Amino acid sequence: MTIYLTKTVDGKTHHFRITSEDTGLEIIQGIFYISMEKYWQDFDTERRAQDAARKMIDEKIRDGYQVMPYAETPENSMDVYDKAKWHYGGDFPEDLDDFQGYIHTGMFLGWLIDQDLVSNRFKKEHEEEIKLFKEKKLSGAQVYQRALDGVLMLEDISELGNRFGIYYFNMDNGEYLVDYENILGANLPSLYHVQDTWDNYYKLKEMLDSKFAEWQQMIN
């Protein structure tokens, strides 16, 4: 059984979803485009799990949430954009170094830094890496590896950045990888063969700047 609740505060959608499975509860909650938390709670019996679920639902309702029909969307389910290990640990050319699995997302992260679309938490925790990127002493892929251990999450990006990222950088149905391959991967064996160079980054940045401007015009 899944119960989904939302409330809107100052134009921001808060969401809470709880799913009961036997003696456990899966809980996903957060704020659209800003944060998301996922966790699991175990109980001794199915009855105790159901009682705990009802208590949490009642608390949310008292806090102003309303029960809503649930339909999965990136806004209410996606907390991770990409992981480098999904690439170098999957269908990946055997002759390449694992670092090549960092480059496509690392370049997008570099663009987010250039556009000031990373989150305040990212700025605070990775001030040194941002400085080195802007000095061209670290590439975006190197920042992705060094600062984020190859995991780009919702909470690493600002609200505006996530609004664009969920639309464009979503690995399931966004356009980023197609555009990336068209711009940098033409005549290469795979997109993983793209080299981590500043020339390549600036080619991609020009395209990303254009896509971001188009998106802003579309939503305004």
Name the burial class of residue 26, with classes exposed (0-12), middle (13-18) and buried (19+) by CB atoms within 10 angstroms of its CB.
Answer: middle
Integer Cα distance of 87 and 70 in angstroms: 31
The phi, psi pair for 34, rounded to 5°, reads -125, -50
- pLDDT of 90 higher than 90: no
Give the whole-number percent of the chain exceeding pLDDT 90: 95
Residue-wise pLDDT for 95-135, tens only, equals 999 999 999 999 999 999 999 999 999 999 999 999 999 99
The domains located in the chain, with CATH, are 2-75 (2.20.140.10), 79-219 (no CATH)
Question: Amino acid letter at 72?
Answer: E
pTM here is: 0.93
pLDDT at 91: 85
pLDDT at 17: 98
Mean pLDDT, rounded, for 62-78:
96
| Distance from C-alpha of 13 to C-alpha of 209, rounded to nearest angstrom | 28
Cα 87–Cα 89–Cα 92 angle in degrees, nearest 5: 60
What is the pLDDT of the chain when averaged over all its residues?
96
Q: How many residues does the chain have?
A: 220
- Whether the per-residue pLDDT at 213 is higher than 90: the answer is yes
